[in-house]
Chains A and B, each alone.
Chain A
């Protein structure tokens, strides 16, 4: 089994993202700053580690969302993303 077998995707980040955002986030559309691809969070590649997660573009590998939760503090780095469009009607 290599690292690819262990890879998850943005669907698995839905719970953590809901700790921060008040909307359902796996269907939210992200625009990648690297290649311009517009993809729902659910289709991003998820890399997890002990302190948080990184969600990367499946096409060009740019990190779109980095989120950590350490000692009661959430820290988000969204600099890899040009736009995040959230559909407020999705429950």
Chain B
């Protein structure tokens, strides 16, 4: 691959996704096509020259012109409060990418393209999974897909409306929410952290040769990976990304 260079992206739109999460839509000239699941490194430079960087998953599918990053504001973080509070349309940010070849889903990869997908996300761990869901929708893929998405409350569900729209018009995409802290009245979904019983109810059977992508905080990723292994998912069929809070 080419050596990755730092590039300047310009903010063309900022979208408030939830009270603590914003999407930054960036114009990055000469952007190399990315794969769903990849991330970028974002670098901030202070006036005194001090630099710091963080990794952010790409939320947009490869087909789109603009690059979307979705950033959760981490209280006391070094980078995310700048990105969510200070950045304005027209501002530039330094980034390099796309990065990653492990936590990626390619529709043309014969190791994965006929496997049912089981996507499990916690909080802003939805971001790389959303790139996969959007890519799947854009490429008219019908590979059976389930998303199990854990959020703390209904208001904290990132991409809530879009997930609802996509699953309503696509019978091969099922979206299952669990709300761990607070549930609205008449909530019929799950209302607890992801556990073994939940996974056993939802997961594709190992005989269907499913491919699982798990992204979220460490505790969620480890619970899910361990339980899926015990349910019979083989080596290499569970891809994991531990994602925030990263001191962001």
Residues of A within 8 A of B99 (CB): 14-15, 18, 26
Q: Is the CB of A11 within 8 A of B102?
A: yes
- Say yes or no: B245 contacts A14, CB within 8 Å: no
Residue in B39, B99, B245, B247 with the greatest tally of chain A CB atoms within 10 Å: B99
Whether, in the assembled complex, A71 has its beta carbon less than 8 Å from a beta carbon of chain B, the answer is no
Write the chain B residue with the least CB distance to A4.
B218
What residues on B are CB-neighbors of A25 within 8 Å? 101
For window 52-94 of B, CB contacts with A under 8 Å fall at: 53, 55
Q: Does B16 count as interface, using CB distance less than 8 angstroms? A: no
Closest partner residue, chain A, to B102 (CB atom) = A42
B interface residue count range (under 10 / 10 to 19 / 20 to 34 / 35 or more): 20 to 34
Number of residues of chain A lying within 8 A (CB) of chain B: 27
Number of cross-chain contacts by CB at 8 Å: 76
Contact bitstring B96-125, A, C-beta under 8 A = 1, else 0: 110111110000000000000000000000
Beta-carbon contact of A40 and B3 below 8 Å: no
- Chain A neighbourhood of B240, CB < 8 A: 9, 42-43
**25 residue pairs bridging A and B, Cβ less than 8 Å apart:** A5-B217, A5-B219, A6-B245, A9-B242, A10-B102, A11-B100, A11-B102, A11-B103, A11-B242, A14-B39, A14-B99, A14-B100, A14-B101, A15-B53, A18-B1, A22-B1, A22-B3, A23-B1, A24-B1, A24-B101, A26-B103, A41-B102, A42-B239, A42-B240, A87-B101
Is B246 positioned at the interface, with any CB of A under 8 Å from its CB?
yes
A residues less than 8 Å from B102 (CB atoms): 10-11, 26-27, 40-43
Complex contact A91–B55 (CB within 8 A): no
Taking a contact as CB atoms under 8 Å apart, the answer to whether B100 and A42 are in contact is: yes
B241 within 8 A of A: yes
